[in-house]
Amino acid sequence: MENKIEIYQGANGQTQIEVRFENETTWLTNNQLVELFKSSKANISEHIKHIFESEELDKDSTVRNFRTVQMEGKRAVERERVHYNLDVIIAVGYRVNSKRGTQFRQWATQRLKDFLVQGYAINEARLSQKQQEVQTLKDGIRILSRVIEQKAIDQNLDWLNHFAKGLELLDDYDHENLDKKGLNKRPAHYPEMAEYKEVILSMKSDFESGVFGKEKDGSFESSIAQISKGFGEEDFYPTLEEKAATLLYLIVKNHGFVDGNKRIAAACFLLFLQTNDLLHNGEGHSIISNDALASLTLFIASSKPESLSRRMSGRWKR
Of 30, 2, 37, nearest to 107 by C-alpha is: 37
Low-confidence ranges of the chain (pLDDT < 70): 1-4, 7-25, 69-71, 115-183, 304-318
pLDDT for position 22: 62
Residue type, 133: E
Domain boundaries, the chain: 5-97, 127-317
Q: What is the 3-state secondary structure (H, E, C) of 177-192?
A: CCCCCCCCCCCCCCCC
Question: 4, 20 in Cβ contact below 8 A?
Answer: yes
- Give the helix ranges, DSSP H, for the chain: 30-37, 41-53, 59-62, 86-93, 99-114, 120-153, 159-174, 193-203, 219-226, 240-254, 261-275, 290-302, 305-317
Distances (CA, A) of 17 to 146, 207, 303: 58, 49, 40
For 280, phi then psi, to 5°, come to -130, 150
pLDDT for position 1: 47
Distances (CA, A) of 199 to 154, 174, 180, 246, 279: 34, 37, 31, 19, 16
Of 42, 37, 46, 86, nearest to 64 by C-alpha is: 86
Residue type, 66: F
pLDDT for position 48: 94
pLDDT in tens, 245-289: 889 889 998 889 988 899 999 999 999 989 998 888 777 777 777
Angstrom distance (rounded) from CA 124 to CA 120:
6
pLDDT in tens, 289-298: 787 788 888 8
SS3 of residue 7 by DSSP: strand
pLDDT for position 317: 32
Q: Which pTM does this prediction carry?
A: 0.45
pLDDT for position 286: 78
Half-sphere exposure (CA, 13 Å, Cβ side) for 222? 12
